[in-house]
């Protein structure tokens, strides 16, 4: 079984990422390199990974990501940033795929979560961008807030030819416990009904209380995801190094496995590598 970490980041110039200037981000406001990533992957028995854009939102970061992927055979795929409303997005995607290292590009991501409108994905220009991503043969990573899940479900239904990958289970309000689960469950279920959507069990520890969380806090959300998507539509992602705000790579991985509960060998193989390999079309 090839194991895949379907979601992590790298940056060497934290000052280029405005969100890292927040005081709460100080523990991760430092460089994270290819060598550090490789050490984490080895220590946790992970064979391959997917490197995801880090909300720098510029073309220069895309060049950095592709260069780092070229340095690390473990990085099997790269998800670049794209602005969906860009009227020349299709040409931009073609250019990205043709640049050195473009064969590692498996998807794109837009910072939908940064838009205050919960219905951002309903905009005609955004829908046009989603169709351009599909035409380029790429997956689209959905990084959305919980209140944007309904719009995401409508977008997935409207663009059935596109492979949508939901990051961080739609950022459920884990800190709120049962009340948070109740608010999130309905729109999450509606998105799961769309057959062209898969989801990453990732980023949950930073939606929980950073200092007091336990695997049990994650379990209701993880089990709901398993029930709604099934193992063949779920993939594990560490969200390293962002996860370090709340726990180490190893602790996060162990907590997710504990929250999932006993799995068959086939289900475990899917969540820990098979789903990501298939959906992102990784060469492993």
Domain spans, the chain: 4-279
Amino acid 275: pLDDT:
98
pTM higher than 0.85, yes or no?
yes
Q: Which residues contact 134 (CB under 8 A, 6 or more apart)?
A: 140, 159, 161, 162, 163
What CA–CA distance (Å, rounded) separates 164 from 128?
Answer: 15
Query: In degrees rounded to 5, what are phi and psi of residue 127?
Result: -60, -40
pLDDT tens for each residue of 206-255: 999 999 999 999 999 999 999 999 999 999 999 999 999 999 999 999 99
What CA–CA distance (Å, rounded) separates 157 from 96?
Answer: 27
Place of tokens 């351009």: 132
The CATH classification number of 4-279 equals 3.20.20.140
Query: In degrees rounded to 5, what are phi and psi of residue 133?
Result: -60, -45
Nearest to 53 by CA among 82, 32, 14: 82
Amino acid 33: pLDDT:
98
Amino acid 272: pLDDT:
98
Q: Quote the DSSP letter at residue 68.
A: H
Amino acid 242: pLDDT:
98
pLDDT tens for each residue of 104-158: 999 999 999 999 999 999 999 999 999 999 999 999 999 999 999 999 999 999 9
pLDDT-derived band at 1, boundaries 50, 70, 90: confident
What sections of the chain are H helices per DSSP?
34-43, 59-71, 89-98, 124-135, 149-158, 177-192, 215-229, 249-260, 265-269, 275-279
């Amino acid at each position: 079984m090839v194991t895949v970490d379907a979601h992590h980041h790298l940056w060497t110039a934290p000052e280029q990422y405005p969100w890292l200037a927040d005081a709460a981000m100080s523990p991760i406001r430092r460089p994270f390199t290819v060598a550090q990533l490789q050490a984490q992957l080895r220590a946790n028995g992970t064979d391959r990974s997917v490197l995801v854009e880090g909300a720098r939102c510029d073309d220069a970061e895309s060049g950095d990501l592709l260069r780092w992927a070229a340095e690390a055979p473990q990085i099997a795929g790269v998800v670049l940033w794209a602005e969906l409303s860009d009227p020349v997005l299709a040409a931009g995607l073609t250019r990205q795929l043709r640049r050195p290292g473009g064969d590692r590009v498996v998807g794109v991501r837009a910072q939908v979560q940064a838009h205050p409108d919960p219905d951002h994905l309903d905009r005609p220009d955004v829908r046009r961008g989603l169709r351009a991503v599909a035409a380029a043969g790429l997956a689209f990573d959905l990084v959305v807030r919980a209140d944007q899940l309904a719009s995401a479900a409508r977008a997935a239904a409207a663009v059935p030819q596109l492979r949508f990958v939901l990051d961080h289970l739609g950022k459920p309000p884990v800190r709120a416990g049962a009340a948070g689960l109740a608010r999130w469950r309905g729109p999450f279920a509606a998105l799961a009904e769309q057959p062209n959507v898969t989801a990453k069990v990732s980023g949950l520890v930073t939606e929980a209380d950073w200092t007091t969380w336990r695997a049990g806090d994650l379990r209701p959300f993880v089990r709901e995801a398993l029930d709604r998507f099934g193992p063949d539509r779920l993939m594990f992602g560490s969200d390293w190094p962002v996860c370090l705000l709340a726990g180490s790579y190893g602790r996060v991985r162990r907590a997710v496995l504990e929250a999932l509960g006993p799995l068959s060998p086939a289900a475990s193989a899917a969540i820990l590598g098979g789903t990501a390999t298939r959906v992102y079309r990784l060469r492993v």
